[in-house]
Amino acid sequence: MSRQKVLSSLCGLIVVDKPVGMSSMDVVRRVRRAAGKAKTGHAGTLDPLATGVVICCLGKATKSVEKLMGQPKIYETEVDLSAFTQTDDLEGERQEVEVPTPPTLAQVQAACQTFVGDAIQQTPPIYSAIHINGQRAYKLARKGETIDMPTKIVRIDAVDVLDYTWPTLTLSIKCGRGTYIRSLGRDIGKKLGTGGHLASLRRTAVGDYTIEKSHPIDRFESPITQDDLLPVPE
């Protein structure tokens, strides 16, 4: 049997620490190449500016993608409260907000807790992959079209303040599937009467698959073997 066929029979999961600038599909392509072109998919998108956990499923493990996407996720993010942006992150042009008196830590903590619950209403960023009339929202936004973004209900289990030194707010967030952390940063700013956009975003866990179990992207310059893979969840 050829090496190509041996590698293409791989089955299992591998956790990747996605770097800034790569899309989740860029990660999949890198892993697939290292796995001898085995069938490969990912269990949850990360924006190019975000870093951290991307679970890649190989072979028959791709059948577990939906189950894995339903696992709770943990993020760490820095929110810049001094400005909004169109993209709700660093890619968009800054829209400065004058804040005569920055909010106190107690006010920030109270505002964050209003976004914890099983039925939090959220409006996705206009620069997102949501379909609007059959087209991606970000494509319409780039054309300068006015977009009426639909709201959605998401689950946010915890929003904990790790650090706050005006204008930077550092948060740890545990949430369910489909939550936009960019929207959360923006909405916390609106609640406080400040600006709000993400200066950084890192996913540290998807269920039990943590950043400590991840591989750097350069690991996939060499072949993946079955011993490198985690078992498929039951």
CATH architecture of 3-70+208-228: 2-Layer Sandwich (3.30)
> What are the start and end residues of each CATH 3.30.2350.10 domain in the chain?
3-70+208-228, 73-206
CATH architecture of 73-206: 2-Layer Sandwich (3.30)
Q: How far apart are CA 181 and CA 231, in angstroms?
A: 29
> 125-147: per-residue pLDDT in tens?
866 566 566 666 556 556 566 66
Q: How far apart are CA 180 and CA 198, in angstroms?
A: 11
β partners of residue 15: 55
Q: Give the helix/strand (H/E) hosting 4.
A: helix 3-8
- 47 included as an active-site residue: yes
Structure tokens at 14: 């591998």
- Indicate whether 5 pLDDT > 70: no
Structure tokens at 119: 């039925």
* φ/ψ (deg, to 5) at 15: -100, 130
DSSP 124: -
What whole-number percentage of the chain has pLDDT above 90? 79
31-44 in b/e form (b: 16+ CB < 10 A) is bbebbbebebbbbb
Which among 17, 47, 88, 187 is annotated as catalytic? 47
> 173-220: per-residue pLDDT in tens?
999 999 999 999 999 999 999 999 999 999 999 999 999 999 999 999
Least Cα distance to 7 among 227, 179, 217 occurs for: 227
Least Cα distance to 31 among 41, 20, 21 occurs for: 41
* Number of Cβ atoms within 10 Å of the Cβ of 121: 11
> 38-97: per-residue pLDDT in tens?
999 999 989 889 999 999 999 999 999 999 999 999 999 999 999 999 999 999 999 999
List of residues 6+ apart from 86 with CB closer than 8 A: 92, 93, 95, 126, 127, 141
